[in-house]
């Protein structure tokens, strides 16, 4: 298991994560090796590696997301087929 991977998340979606409005990260590609953390780079205007997010289960459609959050309903209805990664804890 890898300790973590680096990703870039724009400021507005990152703000939703911090406020717990968004509880899954939807990605087209998931690394083959399991990982425990997302190291998040926030691009312009911040331009910094700013957050470490502990992650949980990766869900694959047709599994359903049980929680409410930004993008979850679209995934459950099959409108968004990206694989969601569950956020557990976010620290900056």
Output the CA–CA distances (angstroms, integers) from residue 78 to 35, 71, 73, 88, in the order listed: 26, 11, 9, 24
What is the domain count for the chain?
Answer: 1
- Number of neighbouring beta carbons within 10 Å of residue 53: 23
- Number of neighbouring beta carbons within 10 Å of residue 82: 16
User: Which domain does 44 fall in, by range?
Assistant: 2-91
Residue-by-residue pLDDT tens, the chain, 92 positions: 679 999 999 999 999 999 999 999 999 888 888 899 999 999 999 899 999 999 998 998 899 998 889 999 999 999 988 899 999 988 88
Rg (CA), the chain: 13
| CATH code at position 46 | 2.30.130.30
- CB neighbour class for 44 (10 Å; exposed up to 12, middle 13-18, buried from 19): exposed
Tell me the whole-structure pTM to 2 decimals. Answer: 0.86
């Amino acid at each position: 298991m890898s300790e973590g991977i680096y990703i870039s998340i724009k400021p507005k979606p990152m703000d939703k994560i911090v406020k717990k409005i968004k509880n899954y990260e939807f990605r087209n590609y998931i690394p083959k090796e399991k990982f425990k953390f997302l190291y998040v780079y926030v691009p312009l205007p911040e331009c910094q590696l700013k957050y470490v997010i502990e992650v949980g289960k990766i869900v694959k459609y047709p599994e359903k997301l049980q929680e409410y959050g930004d993008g979850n309903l679209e995934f459950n209805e099959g409108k968004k087929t990206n694989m969601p990664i569950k956020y557990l804890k976010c620290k900056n």
